Structure 1
Amino acid sequence: MWRPDGWDVQVRLGVLTPHADVGPESELRAMAPPDVGIHAARVPFGGIRQGGVMDPTIPLAPVRAFADPPDVDDATEQLATAPVAAIAFGFTSSAYVIGADGEAAMLKRLTARAHGLPVVATCAAAVDALHTLGATRICLIDPPWFDTELDDLGRAYYQDAGFDVVFSAPCALPSGQKLIRPGDLHDWAAEHVPESAEAVVIGGNGFRAVGAIESLETTLGRPVLTANQVLLWAALRAAHTDTTQITGYGRLFTLDA
């Protein structure tokens, strides 16, 4: 008699997302099982305008500022008042700029503002996922709106974490969130991922990518990690929720966490 109304979920996850970006929550909701709720808090980001419009490349200053107080801290504190089991920081590039130590300090600060509720972040989650998969040589693919400087910072982030980055580059597709298509990403990645890479990491939470994971893994014969995929995986683990119930979005979810 009664239609599903979204109330009877087993766990709710919060996500911090740039104010005009619909990418993180769109992909998280697409991957999440019916018994997992996704609830977003919007954080001001100086690199995106009305309607989600961005410049062809995003400047580093607002990328760094996104991880700084007070905006993301205030959003975290407010989101933590909702009945969520964990909070996910849905932004890749700030970790590239501030590095792993800066990212860890940010997570410690946000966890305190969340009154001890676990807070996970994209790049730290990708590192954990790579260790879980046993991959040490990686290919890093970034969105077309990441310039070479930001991509170089991403390469350095993973190198500092102990990985051999055998290839990294911004993806040479049209620079605009609405212009990305899974098939185009699949074809570009399939052409550029070197044989020596044990895993592929696709950066950018606003980069439309999760729909291509399964096909890319079939084509490449290697695990593919994307920003929102690893973020969901880490958030579910932090919430002590089974990740293996998710299918069709990469072999990462098949592992027993």
Structure 2
Amino acid sequence: MSPTPQDSTAVSVGFIYPDHAAEDDYPYAEKLLGGTARLPVEHVYGIDLHAIPELLDLGSPDRLAEGAARLAAHDPAAVVWACTSGSFVYGWEGAHDQVERLSRAAGGLPTSSTSFAFVRAAEALGVRTVAVAASYPDDVAELFVDFLRRGGVDVVGMSSADIVTAAEVGRLSPDDVVKLIADRDRPDADALLVPDTAMRTLALIELLERRLGKPVLTANQVTVWEGLRLVGVTPTVPGLGTLFRRKGT
């Protein structure tokens, strides 16, 4: 994808992304934003497993400080840890500590993570109940459910695809992604949450919402939204689902 011409005054929101899988969702979102913001991505690296010890290491303060240092060259106004499992694995209090440490490493900038982005996006949409379509093994996915409930989100169902690595998720075809998500919907859920930034979803959200008749919140979508929210940029963006059609959320 060729880079989108940017206004030099456009706000920069930086994202720390783990390893390599679906980071091309960010330039895709930047293009749809049409010059409203720059969305630079820098990477941190760990062992590519959806397993608790490896996820705790991936989201450790030292790794995130490395990512913040790399993002400094982009002069971001806010920084987001673009990883769901590498944030909720720390639990509710631990994830707060994680973003506070990241803020200090980023020179006091506003910071957040994908896990908090899901909670805030659900609140912004006013959804009462959600279902979770997870790519992770069950033990990891259950930690996400626990995190959502601590954030006041009523989870009425969770199903997992038991995919062991982020790289495997990143290799899923668009048809496979749609099937994985749509097959895990629940009729009693007001919205469907898809928690893996390794999954390419941005180009599929509108299709999924039409098919399911409800908001679909995906990891890279809510991560971009959260970063923009941190800097007070809340544009209406066609193509990124219900969340981005609600100006001012």
TM-score by length of 1: 0.86
The aligned amino acid for 1:221 is G
Q: Which residue of 1 aligns with 2:220?
A: 228
Which of 126, 130, 138 is residue 118 of structure 2 equivalent to? Answer: 126
Stretches of structure 1 that go unaligned for 5 or more consecutive residues are 48-56
In 2, are the aligned partners of 1:9 and 1:37 still within 8 Å (CA)? no
Q: CA deviation at 1:249?
A: 1.2
Moved over 6 A (4+): 172-175
The aligned amino acid for 2:153 is F
Residues 107-142 of structure 1, C-alpha deviations (whole Å, 9 max, x = no match): 111111111211121010110110111112111111
In 2, are the aligned partners of 1:174 and 1:180 still within 8 Å (CA)? no
Q: CA deviation at 1:38?
A: 2.2
Distance 1:121 1:178, change over 3 A: closer
In 2, are the aligned partners of 1:237 and 1:243 still within 8 Å (CA)? no
Residues 169-202 of structure 1, C-alpha deviations (whole Å, 9 max, x = no match): 2237897134312233223433331110011110
Q: Distance in 2 between matches of 1:204 and 1:237?
A: 20
Q: CA deviation at 1:242?
A: 3.1
Distance 1:137 1:72, change over 3 A: same
Residues 3-33 of structure 1, C-alpha deviations (whole Å, 9 max, x = no match): 9755636122211012x31413x11211222
In 1, are the aligned partners of 2:238 and 2:244 still within 8 Å (CA)? yes
Q: Distance in 2 between matches of 1:170 and 1:188?
A: 9
Q: Which residue of 2 aligns with 1:213?
A: 205
Q: Distance in 2 between matches of 1:83 and 1:174?
A: 35
Matches within 5 A, 1:89-128: 89-128=81-120
Kindly report the root-mean-square deviation, in angstroms, between the aligned alpha carbons of the 2 structures.
2.2
Distance 1:135 1:63, change over 3 A: same
The aligned amino acid for 1:59 is A
Q: Which residue of 2 aligns with 1:52?
A: none
- Over the matched positions of the two proteins, sequence identity in percent amounts to 24
Q: Which residue of 2 aligns with 1:51?
A: none
Distance 1:173 1:83, change over 3 A: closer
Distance 1:188 1:95, change over 3 A: same
Q: Distance in 2 between matches of 1:105 and 1:172?
A: 28
In 2, are the aligned partners of 1:17 and 1:42 still within 8 Å (CA)? yes
Stretches of structure 2 that go unaligned for 5 or more consecutive residues are none
| Range moving further from structure 2, 154-163 or 132-141 | 154-163
Distance 1:192 1:40, change over 3 A: closer
1:21 is paired with a residue of what secondary structure?
Answer: coil
> Which has the larger Rg?
1
In 2, are the aligned partners of 1:15 and 1:38 still within 8 Å (CA)? yes
| Range moving further from structure 2, 82-91 or 174-183 | 174-183
Q: Distance in 2 between matches of 1:141 and 1:239?
A: 29
Q: Which residue of 1 aligns with 2:246?
A: 255
In 2, are the aligned partners of 1:89 and 1:120 still within 8 Å (CA)? yes
Q: Distance in 2 between matches of 1:223 and 1:130?
A: 10
In 1, are the aligned partners of 2:22 and 2:170 still within 8 Å (CA)? no
